[in-house]
């Protein structure tokens, strides 16, 4: 297990390859951000019957570069009442984690049919990902939580009320959706039996080699169907909330909080947050592709498989990014109580229940007889009904208590 690059010890070539991979990953992510900002603005303009950026470069492609140059040359302001150290630290806390997440995602490599996704680089065998830690999936969860610190500390250290409100919302929202995110991810880990991202992708490669005659085996080998779609949907919703993207962008609700946690930031420090937001979006899309959509898996009609795998990975990420933009164009922002309701009353119980069902099915298929299976299913259904009734009863009692306490005004 682990990257075969390190199997024969570490020498200068290995170090150079790792450095090169880091630089390439960083470049991909930065260029991706530039294109993503342009893509988002263009698509949302299309959906609103506008034209969108069209002045800088062909089709406005250089608009983000122009904005970046402008931001760099603007005056950097730090409010008097802000905390100097934390105020300066926060943008980096927001921008670094998405990059680290992107580092553990395999962006290419042919899996299945006897191949395990390795490529030859400078005479060495390695994976097309910067790092493949044995706890990759946990690492992703940890990094997406650390990104919250960037938002929280930025709001707190600004010494201003609206950023503070924004960061308080952020912490509550993150805590709420982190649970659903982790539980739906646990379903993937349960099916795969490994935490390494490389293993997750290899596990989805399916038994047969990739060809046009194996359509059904492609799709059924992807985790989105193997885990029964529900974890995928929950993960996507929770990821949108983690990214603070619409309709979950209460953290930076312009109409209520001026700009949210980044109100007091200016110049490139603000640019870092802007960058971080889109880096997170791309990294999270890459994670969704890796965990649920087979990573770089896809048909290889001709030519070198590695290029095709990178193409399929990119295509899947772009589809997800488009979906994020589509959500933004379509859905109005959640109210705060709706946000909490969805997180705590719908997503978390559903994710937890689905995880239990998956675990039960797995156990039942491997170790139980049919009778035991039916017995367990009946028992499960009974418990589910009881729990449903209990939740309903609790809700009724709570409502009744509230009604008693209500004061006429």
Partner 1 sequence: MGYFGGFRITLGQMFAKRVTTPYPDIKAPKAERTHGRHVLNRYEDGMEKCIGCELCAGVCPARCIYVRGADNPRDQPVSPGERYGFVYEINYLRCIHCDLCVEACPTEAITESKLFEFSFTNRADAIYTKAELVVDDDGRPQQMPWEDWRPGDDRFTSGWMRATAPSGSADREGEAAWSGELGCGVRAPEPAQPERDGR
Q: Are 270 and 73 in contact (CB under 8 A)?
A: no
Cβ at position 39, least distance to partner 1 in Å:
13
Name the 3-class secondary structure at 116: strand
The answer to whether residue 382 forms part of the interface with partner 1 (CB under 8 A) is no
Distance CA 147, CA 153 (A): 10
Nearest-angstrom CA–CA distance, 160 and 81: 8
Angle CA 165–170–173, to nearest 5: 125
Q: For residues 158 and 264, give the distance between their C-alpha atoms in angstroms, rounded to a whole number.
A: 6
| 3-state SS, residue 115 | strand
CB of 47 to partner 1, least distance (A): 5
Q: Residues binding partner 1: what is the number (CB under 8 A)?
A: 12
- Judge whether 320 and 240 are in contact, CB under 8 Å: no
Q: Mark the segment that binds partner 1 (CB under 8 A) among 50-58, 63-71, 277-285, 336-344.
A: 50-58
Nearest to 339 by CA among 210, 171, 107, 136: 171
Choice from 8, 46, 76, 372 touching partner 1 (CB under 8 A): 46
338 is an interface residue for partner 1 by CB under 8 A:
no
| Residues in a beta bridge with 115 | 112
The sign of the CA dihedral 166, 32, 105, 330 is positive
Cβ neighbors of 376 (< 8 A, separation 6 or more) are 360, 364, 368
Rounded Cα distance, 143 and 349, in Å: 24
Q: Which of 10, 15, 19, 51 binds partner 1 (CB under 8 A)?
A: 51
329: contact with partner 1 by CB under 8 A: yes
- Window of 98-106, 238-246, 280-288, 325-333 that interacts with partner 1 by CB under 8 A: 325-333
- Neighbour count for residue 336 (Cβ, 10 Å): 14
CB of 7 to partner 1, least distance (A): 48
375 binds partner 1 (CB under 8 A): no
Nearer to partner 1, 331 or 356 (CB): 331
| Stretch near partner 1 under the rule CB under 8 A, chosen from 41-49, 125-133, 278-286, 382-390 | 41-49
Which residues are CB-contacts of 170 (< 8 A; sequence separation ≥ 6)? Answer: 148, 151, 152, 155, 244, 251, 261
The answer to the question of residue 230 lying near partner 1 (CB under 8 A) is: no
Identity of the residue, 50 or 345, whose beta carbon is nearer to partner 1 in the bound complex: 50
Contact criterion met (CB below 8 Å) for 179 and 346: no
Quick one: 249 or 264, whose CB is closer to partner 1? 249
Instruction: Tell me which of 7, 16, 19, 48 binds partner 1, using CB under 8 A.
Output: 48
| Residue 330 binds to partner 1 (criterion: CB under 8 A) | yes
Residues 6 or more apart in contact with residue 207 via CB below 8 angstroms: 112, 217, 221
Interface pick for partner 1 out of 1, 9, 11, 49 (rule CB under 8 A): 49
The smaller minimum CB distance to partner 1, of residues 50 and 161, is found at: 50
List the one residue from 31, 331, 374, 386 that touches partner 1 (CB under 8 A).
331
Q: What angle do CA 257, 263, 265 make, to 5 degrees?
A: 170
Nearest distance, CB of residue 50 and partner 1, angstroms: 5
**Which one of 54, 211, 216, 382 is in contact with partner 1 (CB under 8 A)?**
54
Q: Name which of 329 and 340 has its Cβ closer to partner 1.
A: 329
Establish if 326 lies at the interface with partner 1 (CB under 8 A). Answer: yes
Is 220 an interacting residue with respect to partner 1 (CB under 8 A)?
no
Binding residues for partner 1, rule: CB under 8 A, are: 43, 46-51, 54, 326, 329-331
């Amino acid at each position: 297990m682990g990257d075969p690059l390190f199997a024969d010890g570490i020498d200068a070539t290995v170090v150079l390859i790792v450095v090169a991979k880091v630089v390439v990953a960083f470049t991909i992510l930065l260029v991706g951000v530039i294109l993503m900002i342009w893509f988002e603005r263009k698509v949302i303009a299309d959906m609103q019957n506008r034209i969108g950026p069209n002045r800088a470069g062909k089709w406005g492609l250089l608009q983000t570069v122009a904005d970046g140059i402008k931001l760099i040359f603007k005056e950097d302001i730090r409010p008097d009442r802000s905390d100097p150290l934390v105020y300066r630290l926060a943008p980096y806390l927001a921008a670094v984690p998405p990059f680290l997440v992107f580092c553990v995602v395999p962006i290419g490599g042919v899996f299945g049919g006897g191949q395990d996704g390795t490529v030859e680089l400078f005479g060495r065998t390695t994976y097309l990902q910067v790092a493949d830690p044995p706890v990759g999936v946990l690492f992703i969860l940890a990094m997406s939580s650390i990104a919250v610190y960037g938002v929280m500390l930025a709001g707190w250290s600004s010494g201003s009320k609206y950023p503070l409100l924004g960061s308080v919302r952020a912490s509550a929202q993150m805590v709420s959706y982190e649970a659903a995110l982790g539980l739906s991810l646990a379903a993937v880990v349960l099916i795969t039996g490994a935490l390494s991202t490389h293993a997750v992708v290899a596990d989805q490669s399916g038994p047969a080699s990739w060809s046009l005659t194996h359509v059904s085996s492609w799709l059924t080998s992807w985790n989105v169907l193997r885990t029964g779609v529900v974890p995928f949907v929950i993960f996507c919703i929770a990821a949108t909330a983690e990214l603070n993207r619409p309709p979950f962008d209460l953290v930076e609700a312009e109409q209520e909080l001026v700009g949210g946690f980044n109100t007091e930031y200016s110049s490139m420090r603000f640019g870092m947050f802007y960058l971080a937001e889109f880096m997170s979006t791309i990294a999270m899309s890459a994670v969704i592709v890796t965990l649920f959509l087979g990573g770089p898996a896809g048909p290889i009609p001709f030519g070198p498989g590695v290029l095709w795998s990178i193409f399929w990975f990119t295509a899947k990420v772009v589809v997800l990014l488009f979906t994020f933009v589509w959500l933004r164009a379509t859905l109005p922002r959640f109210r705060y109580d709706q946000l909490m309701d969805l997180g705590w009353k719908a997503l978390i119980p559903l994710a937890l229940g689905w995880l239990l069902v998956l675990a039960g099915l797995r156990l039942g298929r491997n170790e139980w007889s049919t009778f035991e299976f039916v017995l367990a299913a009946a028992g499960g259904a009974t418990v589910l009904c009881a729990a449903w009734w209990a939740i309903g009863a609790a809700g009724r009692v709570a409502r009744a208590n509230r009604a008693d306490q209500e004061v006429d005004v």
